[in-house]
Amino acid sequence: MLAAIAAMLIAFSIGSNDTSNAFGVSIGSGVLTFRRAILLLGIFVTFGALTQRKVMHTVGSLASLNTALIAIALFTSAFVIVFSNWRGFPVSSHQAIVGSLVGAGVAVGSAKLDLLSSIVISWIASPITALFIAILIYSALERILSKVPLFLAERVISMMLLFSGAVIAYNTGANELATALGPVVSSGHLNATIAALLGSASLFAGAVLLSGRVVETVGKGITPLDAFSGFSAQMAAGLTVFAFTLLGMPVSTTYCIIGSVAGVGMLKGLTSVRLHLIKKIMASWVITPAFSFTVCFLIGLLMGY
Amino acid sequence: MWLKRLFAGSREREVIKLFKEHLNSVKLSCEAFAKAIETDDKTLLNEVCELEKAGDAIRREIALKLYEGAFLPVMRGTLYKLAETVDEILDTLEDVAIDYVRLVSLDSDVRELCVKVANLNIKMSVNLMEAFEALGGKADPSDKTIKIRVREREVDAIKHEIYRKLIKKEVSNFWEGKILSDFIDNLVKVSDIIEDAADLIQILNVSLR
């Protein structure tokens, strides 16, 4: 029961943190209002959580833990995510969860380190992939849209922004939420469908109540994005995460969207990317899994496993 | 409702329609003025004043639609500035019309040059409409805006010729001279503002590229 509550708390935290990934750019460029964005997020997250199970399975098999350790690992992750969100930084919920599960798993000697290394490689590969895809999408669209009349281009960009936001919202359910629910489902505490529905509801509540600040950071903070660049960055991140989801790898949409925003920024000249903010975020990427790992590892040891 | 707006772009279509009406008012106003000065029929100038009033209403409606959410925010500022500039053309045409009514006399050689300017203004207003329509079609607005720039230079050349003639003209009092000077200034200013509007269309055209 505690493990399920902790998973719902993480889902709530993902909602407060990741609305920005899906619709931050759409909100920033005025295509969607905040309320409408959250409604769309709720719909597509539920759809993603109900239709994809691979990531749930991968995370669930990362370590064999008992109920108490699963609860501790998930509560630690929730604390890290909520704290980072409170400070206004986009944080990877995957890193917090995987770091916590592996920390506890190492303490009890059940962590699957080969699986962990595949996940870590995915974490490194995914933002780089997103960066290159963003450059490709931007370059291709620049050529196509330069031949299209302005008013048509404006309509197309508005719709594409919405579409890419929906893809990311789907990924949030299929990958991000699945990561939080994986340990609870694999340990048999909750049925996968019920977990997906409850998780989506918690995520929606988090988005409604707490997502405002991070939407500002991602939508406008890293690089001042116009709608066209915003779409390229968002679509690249969406496609990347979707591809990794099909491979069953829990990768961070936050990582990918930052990689793709940086890609578009590079194409437009590095001066438009706020490098100090990127450095700050990268520091949190190292600290997040390290902190979660250490806390859960120590608690695992202290509990005498 | 918002999905309908997003996919059908009805609000955007309304704004485009309003812009076309606004630009058509400029063309009609230029034509009415040219006819009035050519035939020296000052009653035709009432139409210029009526079109100016209608233009104000159209500008207000465009502003409302834009702030209700038509078009991406990145374009809204320039679109509103375009509406204001088009309105300024109509305002200036009204000023020219009022100056013309107040004029004591206009020498035939100067009138001839003024008619040339008025006719160039008509052509420029047509080019401006075509440039705006090109934003929604296949044609390149640049072709039209270049024509506007070339015609504006022609107007400038005529302006200098008019001033050369006016300097030699005797006026009976200060006000006669002032009204004549204002009339010429405002008449040539119309083409300047049309050129400003064309520049805004050019900016809009690259705003999403």
Give per-residue pLDDT as tens, B185-209: 999 999 999 999 999 999 998 877 6
**Per-residue tokens: B7:** 């996919």
Please report the pLDDT score of residue A275 as a whole number. Answer: 67
Chain B: residue whose CA lies nearest to A139: B209
One-letter-per-residue 3-state SS of A71-90: HHHHHHHHHHHHHHHHCCCC
Q: Domains, chain B, ranges and CATH?
A: 2-206 (1.20.58.220)
Domain ranges of chain A: 2-302
Please report the pLDDT score of residue B9 as a whole number. Answer: 66
User: Cβ distance A289 to A160 under 8 Å?
Assistant: no
ipTM: 0.76
pTM, rounded to two decimals: 0.77
Please report the pLDDT score of residue A146 as a whole number. Answer: 78
CA distance A146 to chain B (A): 6
CA distance A135 to chain B (A): 15
Tens of pLDDT along chain A (305 residues)?
778 888 898 888 888 777 777 777 677 666 777 788 888 889 999 999 999 889 999 998 888 888 888 888 888 888 888 787 677 666 778 888 999 999 988 988 888 889 999 999 998 999 999 999 999 999 998 888 878 888 888 888 888 888 888 998 999 999 989 999 988 888 887 888 999 999 999 998 888 886 665 555 544 444 445 677 878 888 999 999 999 999 999 998 878 888 888 888 888 775 555 667 677 777 777 888 888 899 999 988 888 65
Bridge partners (DSSP) of residue A63 are A111
Please report the pLDDT score of residue B3 as a whole number. Answer: 47
CA distance B65 to chain A (A): 15
Which of A34, A154, A155 is most worth mutating to test chain B (most B CB atoms within 10 A of its CB)? A154
Residue bearing tokens 């902190």 = A291
Residue bearing tokens 């309320």 = A35
Please report the pLDDT score of residue A88 as a whole number. Answer: 65
Q: How far lies B106's CA from each of A277, B99, B177, in Å?
A: 68, 12, 11
Chain A: residue whose CA lies nearest to B67: A30
- For residue range B47-57, list pLDDT tens digits in order: 999 999 999 99
Mutual orientation of helices A150-171 and A2-28 as an angle, nearest 10°? 170
**CA–CA separation, A252 and A63 (whole Å):** 20
Residues in chain A: 305
Largest CA distance in chain A: 69
**Per-residue tokens: B119:** 């006719």
**Per-residue tokens: B178:** 């002032």
State chain B's mean pLDDT as an integer.
90
In B, which residues are within 8 Å of A159 by CB distance? Answer: 6-7
Bridge partners (DSSP) of residue A111 are A63
Question: A177-181, B3-7, B22-26, B108-112: which has the minimum mean pLDDT?
Answer: B3-7
**Per-residue tokens: A197:** 């529905």
User: Cβ distance A74 to A9 under 8 Å?
Assistant: yes
